Amino acid sequence: MSTRTDIETLVDALTLEEQVSLLSGEDFWSVPAIARLGIGKMRVTDGPNGARGSGSLVGGVTAAAFPVGISIGASWDPELAREIGVAIAEEVKSKGAHVSLAPTVNIHRSVTNGRNFECYSEDPELTAALAVGYVEGLQSQGISATIKHFVGNESEIERTTIDSVVDEVALREIYLRPFEDAVKIAGTWGIMSSYNKLNGSYTAENEWLLGQVLRRDWGYDGIVMSDWFGSRTTAPTVNAGLDLEMPGPTRDRGAKLVAAVETGAVSRDTIRTRALNMLRLMQRTGALHDDRPFEEHAEDRPEHRALIRRAGAEGTVLLKNDGLLPLADAGKLAVIGPNASVAQIMGGGSAQLNPHYRVSPWDGLAARLGPDALAHAQGCTNHRWEPVVTGNLTAEFFDNQDFDGAPVHTETLDSSIAFWIEGMADGKVDPARFSARVRGRYTAEEAGPHSFGLHAAGLARLYVDGQLVVDVWDNWTPGRTFFEEGCDEVCGLVDLAKGQEVEIVMELRSKPAANLHHSAFRFGVSRPLGDAEITAAAKAAAEADTALVFVGRSGEWDTEGSDLEDIRLPGRQDELVAAVLAANPKTVVVLQTGGPVEMPWVADAPAILQAWYPGQECGNAIADVLFGDAEPGGRLPQTFPARWEDNPTRSQDPEVYPGLDGRVRYEESLMIGYRHYDAQGITPLFPFGHGLSYTRFEMAELSAWAEGAELTVTNTGDRAGSTVVQLYLGPVTPVEGRPKRVLRGFAKVRLGAGESARIEIPLSPRDFARFDLAGQCWQVAAGDYRIEVGFSATDLRLDATVTAAAATLPV
């Protein structure tokens, strides 16, 4: 017998208007309070590698920067994901919020997706296990997760309008799986719908997705909120199951929704259900009666520092090692490359935050060895946009679009990038109708041509000492910046003498947004580097005992709102690596990217480490691994192909990737990631699950049943270390169109030198099941299945055959 709960009584005490008010944001990051009934204001914050707070993307209160998703993915450690979830919950509280807009669990379908860095893996089993850990960690502290983006958001091309065409078997077995486990196992309280359409209808109004799958099949009782400006209708979203339209103020609800109830387009009962869902979330997170004044502050906690440093090493993957690592007595070190003295700690887009601090590789090494043991050479650049100008810049705002009259507001910026949303300029201008003039100064350190670059979400021009150098005003065209609202960068060259100081003035005029309402600009300047710098880096390498070359990308490339054009290292980094390797054979290549890169120099490199974007402790975590204080604990969560063309979305048909005429067709169905390389017989550069340890592991004595497998793992080396035992499962008789084997379990194993352990990996009937489209259920076909265990998808050491009984499992 069901009893009436407090929130049921409360929801019925609300007027229709009040119920409706709970279904839209009040502003960018909150849902309105209802003072009459003592209902508090619920606040949300991005997510997922920390808690940014209520500021805009740039600046704001500082926050702890945790490793990005792919780094957590590489840890293969759900317990670590849980610890990170717990710590991020503390961060969310320090920002006065109740809900974290995290984790991101879309799947690495193509290697060029701009947001792969934010997601865990190409594999649903691994993604789901980590998502469960993270969500449970967050929610154990009373902070709601908002697992995202539900579903089919595997690329950033036309991301707010594209139609992802995905067959239901691939959806159920791959793309929905992390969400399913988050609902059924972790009991997530929040889900964010994606921007895209799924099989013809926007996910925010897709009844099949939100009604059938999520609520009826999975029994979900949490809320679904839209991605920012991703709710586009009134009755269809509410009726389909979208509880909360974000951000506010409302665009399609409020009075429009009340009117829709009056015309009968939406029933009173539906509104009541949505409002009840919101009250349940508020009750779960404590927002319901939270009447504390809103405050957000920076809490730089030592235990967060330690966790981030450990997690960074746990995600670092030793791709190759001819014995050079760990560095013992490395002698004089040459610290080379564009990422050596710049800390690449996170990706770009809404996951950005203002970190408490950033430790670069140079800082981490200098802290350990002292700066005298190190020599530095940048070698080349890897930026996508010209580096920002820092110092005191002034921004003058006009309450019209033509710089008329006196500025209504003036503020100081500490760098030449800004991202303005509601409340900008102290609320003195209308964000949709303003102009702004920003002034800064730049002093050339060397003589020569300097490249000035500008891009903006808005019409903009850049003047250097009064001369127009870049014009993205008259010729503004949409590009891949600022969440697809900005143009691509345009550059102009100016000759400068050494020490010459110039005045830079940028003018910006607001323009209507396509989807995400904001104005933004970035300008910068640098002196292009050339052959001389590569030669100098090679010389520094030759003069050192050991060279460390830090190459990769940054959040400019690995970012929301834009996919990569290819997977080569940007700029002249491949030439730099080759030159350094030729100059000193004792060279370690340290990569920091949000996914795979081609490595034309791979055969010559004795040691390669992939460190991703590991958060604020970046340089310390990398130094810990280089010197062997920490194991390289990571294993690849994504296959690294030898060539871009080898990846699963390589089809010649643009509709398969990046999309054509508004559609992207997931033609490969189940064959993504290692399943694809397996089926096509393509040897990857480094396979899924690959990563070396500083010690050696063996596995033996496999016993397997349909309920699971047991095996003995031994550390046969002379130091403690960790490995990841991976269990793959497939039918003994291959099934046409289906993968030969898929990951069904794994265990991260830590053992002392010479130690052995018996490892158990459980299996359930669902692990043997296929989605049955006609029957709308999971079916286990009776028969023999092969269990293979190993250290990567291609390094399978032991196998056994088990027999499964026929079974039908509900969705």
Closest distance of CB 32 from ligand BGC, Å: 18
> Is the separation of the CB atoms in 41 and 290 below 8 Å?
yes
Give the residue with the Cβ less far from ligand BGC, 225 or 711: 225
Closest distance of CB 246 from ligand BGC, Å: 7
Dihedral (Cα; 262, 264, 266, 269), 10-degree rounding = 90
> Is the separation of the CB atoms in 73 and 56 below 8 Å?
no
Q: What is the SS3 assignment for 292-308?
A: CCCCCCCCCCHHHHHHH
- Token pair listed for 394: 């002034």
Give the residue with the Cβ less far from ligand BGC, 228 or 728: 228
Give the residue with the Cβ less far from ligand BGC, 55 or 691: 55
Give the residue with the Cβ less far from ligand BGC, 148 or 177: 148
Strand partners, 334: 375, 547
Closest distance of CB 61 from ligand BGC, Å: 16
- The residue from 227, 243, 252, 558 that is catalytic is 227
DSSP string, 167-226: -HHHIIIIISHHHHHHHHTS--SEEEE-SSEETTEEGGG-HIIIIIIIIIIT---SEEE-
Residues that bind ligand BGC (CB under 6 A): 46-47, 101, 148, 227-228, 350, 483
Give the residue with the Cβ less far from ligand BGC, 228 or 612: 228
Q: Is 558 a catalytic residue?
A: no
> Is the separation of the CB atoms in 224 and 192 below 8 Å?
yes
Closest distance of CB 29 from ligand BGC, Å: 8
Give the residue with the Cβ less far from ligand BGC, 46 or 631: 46
Closest distance of CB 690 from ligand BGC, Å: 29
Closest distance of CB 429 from ligand BGC, Å: 22
Supply φ then ψ for residue 575, to 5 degrees.
-65, -40
Calpha distance 568→684 (Å, rounded): 15
DSSP letter at 424 equals G
Radius of gyration in angstroms for the set of CA atoms belonging to the chain, rounded to a whole number: 27
Closest distance of CB 174 from ligand BGC, Å: 20
Cis before 249 (ω within 30): yes
Cis before 149 (ω within 30): yes
- Token pair listed for 584: 């000193």
Give the residue with the Cβ less far from ligand BGC, 483 or 785: 483
Closest CA to 556 of 528, 592, 598: 592
Give the residue with the Cβ less far from ligand BGC, 452 or 483: 483
3-state class (DSSP) for residue 60 = coil
Calpha distance 368→28 (Å, rounded): 43
Closest distance of CB 161 from ligand BGC, Å: 14
Closest distance of CB 188 from ligand BGC, Å: 15
Cis before 637 (ω within 30): no
- Token pair listed for 245: 């339209």
Amino acid at 599: M
Closest distance of CB 43 from ligand BGC, Å: 13
Give the angle 469-473-475 at the CA atoms, nearest 5°. Answer: 95
Give the residue with the Cβ less far from ligand BGC, 483 or 677: 483
Closest CA to 107 of 724, 673, 543: 673
Calpha distance 400→407 (Å, rounded): 10
3-state class (DSSP) for residue 811 = coil
- Token pair listed for 666: 């997931």
β strands within 247-370, DSSP E: 317-321, 333-336
Q: Which residue is nearest to ligand BGC (CB)?
A: 350
Contacts of 316 (CB under 8 A, 6+ apart): 71, 74, 609, 610, 611, 612, 614, 621, 622, 625, 632, 633, 634
Give the residue with the Cβ less far from ligand BGC, 47 or 338: 47
Amino acid at 26: E
Contacts of 310 (CB under 8 A, 6+ apart): 621, 630
Q: Which residues are catalytic?
A: 227
